[in-house]
Amino acid sequence: MNADKKVDAMGLACPMPIVKTKKAIDELAPGQILEVLTTDKGAQNDLAGWANSTGHKLLESKEENGIFTFWIQKK
């Protein structure tokens, strides 16, 4: 998936993956897509919860070798 911006939050623990995600998405225009990389297992549920409460759309996610990748579309 093509992303307009990428956040590398690998190796960071809660709350940093979401803090960085929020910062990055604030800099995007509506409809643009953000890619987030994290190794924090807990970020999975939290990103979904955050997207849900902010209205941004979690398009897709995958896990590969302990790395979680998320694609989020700005509302």
Partner 1 sequence: MESNEQTLPVQMTPHELASIITRQEELFVLDVRNESEFKDWKIEGQKLEVVNIPYFDLLDGVEPALERIPDGKRLLVVCAKEGSSRFIAEQIAEAGRSEVHYLEGGMKQWSEHLMPVKAGDLKRGGEIYQFNRIGKGCLSYMIVSEDEAVVVDPARMVQPYIDFAGERGIRIRYVLDTHLHADHISGGRELSDRTGASYLLPPQDADEVVFPYLPLAEGQDIRVGTVHIRPIHSPGHTIGSTTMLVDEQYLLTGDILFVASIGRPDLAGKAEDWVGDLRTTLYGLYSELPGELDVLPAHFGTVAEIGRTGAVSAKLGDLFQRNPGLKLVDEQAFRQAVTEHLPPQPNAYQEIRQTNMGKMKPDEETQREMETGPNRCAVHDR
Active site residue 1: no
Per-residue contact flags (x/-) with partner 1 for residues 45 to 64, judged by CB under 8 A: xx--xx--x-----------
Where in 4-66 does DSSP place strands (E)?
5-9, 33-38, 57-64
Q: How far is the CB of 55 from partner 1 (least distance, A)?
A: 12
For partner 1, give the closer residue by CB, 2 or 53: 53
Q: If residue 50 lies in a helix (H) or strand (E), which one and from where to where?
A: helix 43-54
* Binding site residues, partner 1, CB under 8 A: 13-16, 18-19, 22, 42, 45-46, 49-50, 53
